[in-house]
Amino acid sequence: MTTSTTPTPTPVARRMFDLTEPICLVNFFSEEPNEEMAALGFSNYWDGYFAGRSAPLGRVPAEVVDAAFYNFGPGEVARHVPSVWETTTPDDAHAARQRGCVAALRRILGELVDTPGLARAADLLTGAATSAPVSGRAMYAALRSLPLPEEPVARLWHAANLLREHRGDGHIAALVVEQVDRTECHVLLAIDAGILPAESFGRIHQLPKPYLASVMARLRDRGLVDDAGLFTDAGRATKDRIESMTDALAEAPYSSLDAADLAELIACLEPIADRLKETGSQ
């Protein structure tokens, strides 16, 4: 006799992440945001990155940005913060980041920009993105303090950015619960993605080799990674718990939507996400 299993439904937060993350990725893979930050006077990508993303926090010390971002190597944040504020202000940095991302979205989405579906997606997503509690979510709370854009593409980007930082705050909480630190999380991500050796992953490969060796040694000592640099059963379970907890902690914004609105939002976002994925958000 054979038995059948019912597939586990995809969490709403995971499905929405798949649809909204491409909107946010224009910040990292399109030229318009870089051009806007360069116009402010930044001569390298990372100065613009730290200025634009940390802008909602205001002029805070590097230690605050480091804690809020969590996943940068020791000393990386301090090479840019607070010195970026000698070049521009937080308000101007956020405005430049938004202008660049909106310009990239308008270019990539083309005829989709002026459709009723995009405007409806912007409204529904904004409603969800501004409905969750801010307690314990520093980056999300900082973004929530900013004015909401009125233009639909800007509203769409801002809402997606809010949801990305909301999810990110929850992801950090999950990492802290599992006692996975700022660099270990990248190692687990790399192994999960099949990037071997994990130390070659683009986000950490530039870190000092002795430091990376100590990170790998800690993971082996904890029984999460084997001598070949692959997951042990415990490591696989830890990574799965982190992802499950991240999804669970990201659900709150979508509880404000009834089933019909959620279905409509997904339907409106699908062509937008598909177009962005087709172009790689370039």
- Asked whether the CA dihedral 202, 24, 141, 256 is positive or negative, the reply is negative
Distance CA 135, CA 72 (A): 23
| 225 DSSP assignment | B
Distance CA 58, CA 227 (A): 44
pLDDT given at position 280: 78
Structure tokens given for 203: 């986000």
Structure tokens given for 234: 């415990």
**What's the predicted TM-score (pTM) here?**
0.95
User: Could you tell me how many residues make up the chain?
Assistant: 282
Structure tokens given for 150: 């009125």
Q: How far is CA 225 from CA 188, 218, 272, in A?
A: 9, 9, 38
pLDDT given at position 24: 97
| Tens-level pLDDT at each residue, the chain (282 residues) | 444 555 668 999 999 999 999 999 999 999 999 999 999 999 999 999 999 999 999 999 999 999 999 999 999 999 999 999 999 999 999 999 999 999 999 999 999 999 999 999 999 999 999 999 999 999 999 999 999 999 999 999 999 999 999 999 999 999 999 999 999 999 999 999 999 999 999 999 999 999 999 999 999 999 999 999 999 999 999 999 999 999 999 999 999 999 999 999 999 999 999 999 998 765
Distance CA 250, CA 10 (A): 13
Write the DSSP string, 145-170: TSPPP-SHHHHHHHHHHHHHHHHHHH
Distance CA 71, CA 204 (A): 10
- Neighbouring C-beta atoms of residue 223, cutoff 10 Å: 12
pLDDT given at position 107: 98
pLDDT given at position 1: 45
pLDDT given at position 5: 56
